[in-house]
Amino acid sequence: MELVKIYECLCDLTRLRVLHVLARGPLCVCHFQAVLAEPQVKLSKHLAYLRARGLVSVTRRGNWMVYALPSAPPPELRANLACLQDCAREQPVFRRDLARLERLAPTLAETGPGCCGPATRPPRRARTAAPGRAR
Amino acid sequence: MELVKIYECLCDLTRLRVLHVLARGPLCVCHFQAVLAEPQVKLSKHLAYLRARGLVSVTRRGNWMVYALPSAPPPELRANLACLQDCAREQPVFRRDLARLERLAPTLAETGPGCCGPATRPPRRARTAAPGRAR
DNA sequence: CGACTATATTCCTTTTGAGGTATATGAATC
DNA sequence: GATTCATATACCTCAAAAGGAATATAGTCG
């Protein structure tokens, strides 16, 4: 893996945060939304970016896409991810993410990384008029 | 120092090579030209970039600008520079740079990092004697 | 002072990426 | 088969940055 490609992935804060929490275990996009408090599009795009460069892997699980760090990362990646963990330890942004991840932990343990438990799902009110219909 | 800023500096190969050789000791721009085999403008601009972000420091020495790693880098920077050294060990580009640096070593030892010894200088026809003395 | 040297800066073009809005896709469920 | 949910993609705009050519600047030497 090219060293520069790795650093290109690391030079965006959102991606750093993604990789940082992924070290704790696989996550799906809706969990990323909860943990990082960022909009879905933004996360999807950054995850696609990381995926295209081989920094994360994906597996579909029903409706959910579960992202994870590669099972056997090349040494340069391993080294840099370790370094990131080390550097992030002190910084508030990353600590906040971890805190929100912890708060999610029970749900995660219960349902696995591939889905959002019913608790996290919106109320689902009876509906008729749906705005933003496609085509 | 902001983590992302560091990675932004690392995500260009030329800058990586600059930082990598700087770990061996301070260098002036003309030595960078010799070691990295890149045009002056390119190096000057990347050095300015690194300087603006505090990854390198400069001191003028006569006509020469001597660049060096900061004397007391913050922990995040220290960690990442170490990581870079580690990762670069295997890669041909970086090894080549080091080889050219070694070849420059005698000159460096003789004249200090602040000037290009007579050996590296163009022939300088007919002129009066011994040019390029730094102070 | 004037020539020269080492390095910096400006201007230009091209590429890349970030973020947002709107829309598409694929699986599940009724 | 139509809805709904989770996620992805397309399109757009804006900013940054890379590389090259030309030129500027700041020292030094004679």
The 10s digit of each residue's pLDDT in A97-126 is: 999 999 987 666 555 555 554 433 333 333
CA distance B33 to chain A (A): 21
Region label for B126, one of left (φ > 0), alpha (ψ between -120 and 50) or beta (otherwise): left
CB contact under 8 A, B8 and A11: yes
**What is the tens place of the pLDDT at every residue in B85-122?**
999 998 999 999 999 999 887 666 555 555 554 333 33
pLDDT tens for chain B, 135 residues long, are 899 999 999 999 999 999 999 999 999 999 999 999 999 999 999 999 999 999 999 999 989 999 999 999 999 999 999 999 999 998 999 999 999 999 887 666 555 555 554 333 333 333 333 333 332
Distance B11 CA to C10 C1' (A): 25
Give CA separation, A1 vs A7, A94, B88, B93, B115, in Å: 11, 26, 12, 14, 37
Give B65 or A129, the one with higher predicted confidence.
Answer: B65
State residue A83's pLDDT score: 97
The contacts of residue A104 (CB under 8 Å, 6+ apart) are: A31, A34, A35
CB contact under 8 A, B91 and A10: no
The contacts of residue B42 (CB under 8 Å, 6+ apart) are: B14
State residue B124's pLDDT score: 34
State residue B105's pLDDT score: 73
* Closest residue by Cα to residue B12 from A14, A49, A48, A6: A6
* Closest residue by Cα to residue B6 from B68, B94, B75: B75
Smallest Cβ distance to A80: which of B8, B76, B83? B83
Instruction: Report the complex ipTM.
Output: 0.83
Q: Check pLDDT > 70 for residue A127.
A: no
Which of B17, B50, B83, B94 should we substitute to test contact with A (largest number of A Cβ atoms within 10 Å)? B83
Distance B107 CA to C16 C1' (A): 40
Taking the domain A3-108, which CATH number applies? 1.10.10.10
Range A53-74 average pLDDT: 95
CB contact under 8 A, A10 and B13: no
Between chain A and chain B, how many beta carbons pairs sit less than 8 Å apart?
A: 48
The number of beta carbons lying within 10 Å of the beta carbon of residue A101 is 20
Q: Which nucleotide is the nearest neighbour of A115, by CA and C1'? A: D6
Question: Radius of gyration of chain A from Cα atoms?
Answer: 16
Its CATH class, for the domain covering B3-107, is mainly alpha
State residue B114's pLDDT score: 53
- Whether the CB of A22 is below 8 Å from some CB of chain B: the reply is no
Distance B7 CA to C18 C1' (A): 16
CB contact under 8 A, A83 and B80: yes
Q: What is d(CA B59, CA B66) in angstroms, rounded to the nearest whole number?
A: 5
- Whether the CB of B23 is below 8 Å from some CB of chain A: the reply is no
Region label for B124, one of left (φ > 0), alpha (ψ between -120 and 50) or beta (otherwise): left
The contacts of residue A117 (CB under 8 Å, 6+ apart) are: A107, A110, A111
All residues of chain B having their beta carbon less than 8 Å from the beta carbon of residue A92 are none
Q: What is d(CA B128, CA B135) in angstroms, rounded to the nearest whole number?
A: 18
According to DSSP, residue A55 is labeled: S
State residue A104's pLDDT score: 84
For strand B27-28 and strand A57-61, is the pairing parallel, antiparallel, or unpaired? unpaired
CA distance A135 to chain B (A): 40
Q: What is d(CA A113, CA A65) in angstroms, rounded to the nearest whole number?
A: 9
Q: What is d(CA A131, CA B111) in angstroms, rounded to the nearest whole number?
A: 74
Distance B132 CA to D28 C1' (A): 8
* Closest residue by Cα to residue A7 from B84, B53, B46: B84
CB contact under 8 A, A79 and B86: yes
State residue B1's pLDDT score: 87
Give CA separation, A110 vs A21, A31, A63, A120, B71, in Å: 19, 14, 17, 13, 50
Spell out the domain ranges in chain A: 3-108
**What is the tens place of the pLDDT at every residue in A30-51?**
999 999 999 999 999 999 999 9
